Structure 1
């Protein structure tokens, strides 16, 4: 074990000279340390409608059925309806900037409402206005369903339930926490590729071979350094989030999941480096492999990101716990398989 630790310490010490890696870690540290401040700005990108409390969107409403959508608009705080007799008048005020959007509502012969919306193009408020138009249309659809419910011959597809949760809560636990926990994992895998491929590129592998180290010791030491790096970073980020007022439940199980995923990703990186030995090819194979594998996990009952989110908010299910165990088992199996392969074939010429 002492030989492996020596190799691991050597790898960790060499990371200080890697400016790209250090910069990536510092960026993650900045996001975690100032999460409570950054969340406000980031949520405005994640959900533009969440920052519209002080901004009243004025909709110009026109069309034969325009009066049907006016109560829907007026019923919501932050929206105001301005009725126009003609589309030309509404568009004239829209071009002057007196209203933010135009809604033209017409009734088809079968009774269906057809809404044509016009939003500003290239305006700084475009994203916010488009988001609010979407909200108006969703509210109008719900209102139409309720109004025509007694006339329906068959039940239509149910609409998604209205959400009243805070966008800050959703962003923090479904985006920020998974991002900070898994980004170090992918960085560690990429470093593992470089750590092995550069030994071939620089010819320093020959120096390691004349030492008492075996091929398995060398690979184990490098993977140990990279595999430990991700859980340590993730643990630090979770601690910083807690200090900033973001409560994190089940931190130990989250770190266990990160550790298992880190072992698997680092194993992928080491396998790519040992197979190709050339840095660019190995990095490309590793990147594509991680993309395919991580995307495929969303087809499983519990993806890693969803598992972390559920654990962090304190609502894990039995499936969540089983998923953590499954990821650990698969990652350890891959690691053991690579060790046996290296033990039989060595590191090659």
Structure 2
């Protein structure tokens, strides 16, 4: 415990660790906002459920005000009418409007297609908002044009399985980002950092020749490593608990919190023990960090191969997947046995040859 308290105080001076903690804290604290922004980049439809007001659009043409009426009826965009494209462009570049919609003078009852042109700012969230909020008015306008022209849309009957409601549109984008990426990264990143931290805690003692000074005291090699292992292992599940709590405050539902934390603890214990063995055997920080990095690469490559791998298991546990709890218990027993074997191997490596 003396060694553990000493190392815990020393962690406060580790700028790299503190920076990593702050980054994770930011991600966990604003997880809903970050997920919304990331998902909207490739699936703007997720913004439909959000009342994002303030975007403006300039409509050029549309002398009869037909399409303009549909847009104003929707009430999500502020509409400004312009007589020509040059006036609209001038307002656009001066920041008075966020987009330009050019409507041709094609009569609704004619046979020619009505080709609209939409100009939006590049790399702007306003462009995404305008596209999403124009979708419904344009669909209504298209339906009205088809009715005027007497064009019927043929019905397509899909033979859907029982229990599937074809009338409801549900996006899996949030589920994929939150449970498939965000939560596993926030849960397992502390475990990866703890492994690297264990390497630094051991190799620094060897490099600075302070290990010999510690051995002069009544504390032995095993007790020194036990104290370092205690800090490096317990810090990960404590971080994971903090991140889960912050995400719940963001309105993200988390299932099986206790089992998730136990998985994080078990994975961290295995990582720190592996790093401790490598550090004692090689006693060179660069070599140990290289081997640990290669180990993580192999682990990530195998992550999506089996459903019981840590990444997949955390996803299934936090999402409340059927059968995840039983798999978690099996994995915990396996990791506990592996950790006991690694700890015995570490103790054996400390004995004089």
**TM score, norm. by length of structure 2:** 0.63
Distance 1:240 1:267 in 2: 29
Q: Which residue in the other structure is 2:10 paired with?
A: 14
Q: 1:163 to 1:196 in 2, by over 3 A?
A: farther
Superposed CA offset, 1:20-60 (max 9, x none): 100000110111112222222222346466458999xxxxx
Q: Does 1:35 align with 2:26?
A: no
> Deviation of residue 299 (structure 1)?
2.1
Q: Does 1:241 align with 2:247?
A: yes
Q: Which residue in the other structure is 1:325 paired with?
A: 329
Distance 1:332 1:46 in 2: 41
Q: Does 1:337 align with 2:341?
A: yes
> Deviation of residue 347 (structure 1)?
7.1
Distance 1:298 1:254 in 2: 18
Q: Which residue in the other structure is 2:131 paired with?
A: none
Distance 1:296 1:202 in 2: 37
Distance 2:48 2:298 in 1: 37
Superposition map of 1:189-208 within 5 A: 189-208=195-214
Q: Which residue in the other structure is 1:80 paired with?
A: none
Distance 1:283 1:10 in 2: 23
Q: CA RMSD in A?
A: 3.9
Q: Structure 1: which 4+ aligned runs deviate by more than 6 Å?
A: 52-55
Give yes or no for contact 2:40–2:47 (8 Å, CA) kept in 1.
Answer: yes
Superposition map of 1:71-110 within 5 A: none
> Deviation of residue 11 (structure 1)?
1.3
3-state DSSP class of the match of 1:213?
coil
Give yes or no for contact 2:184–2:311 (8 Å, CA) kept in 1.
Answer: yes
**TM score, norm. by length of structure 1:** 0.64
Q: Does 1:301 align with 2:307?
A: yes
Figure out how many residues of one structure are paired with residues of the other and give that number: 264
Give yes or no for contact 1:197–1:273 (8 Å, CA) kept in 2.
Answer: yes
Q: 1:18 to 1:172 in 2, by over 3 A?
A: same
Give yes or no for contact 1:272–1:283 (8 Å, CA) kept in 2.
Answer: no
Q: Does 1:210 align with 2:206?
A: no
Q: 1:210 to 1:282 in 2, by over 3 A?
A: same
Superposed CA offset, 1:155-207 (max 9, x none): xxxxxx99833422331121111111111111111101111111111111101
Superposition map of 1:120-269 within 5 A: 124=123, 164-269=170-275
3-state DSSP class of the match of 2:12?
helix
Q: 1:310 to 1:207 in 2, by over 3 A?
A: same
Q: Provide structure 1 residue ranges, at least 5 long, that are not aligned to the other structure.
A: 56-97, 100-122, 129-145, 150-160
Which structure has the bigger radius of gyration?
A: 2
Q: Provide structure 2 residue ranges, at least 5 long, that are not aligned to the other structure.
A: 56-99, 102-121, 129-154, 159-165
Give yes or no for contact 1:215–1:347 (8 Å, CA) kept in 2.
Answer: no
Give yes or no for contact 1:251–1:312 (8 Å, CA) kept in 2.
Answer: yes
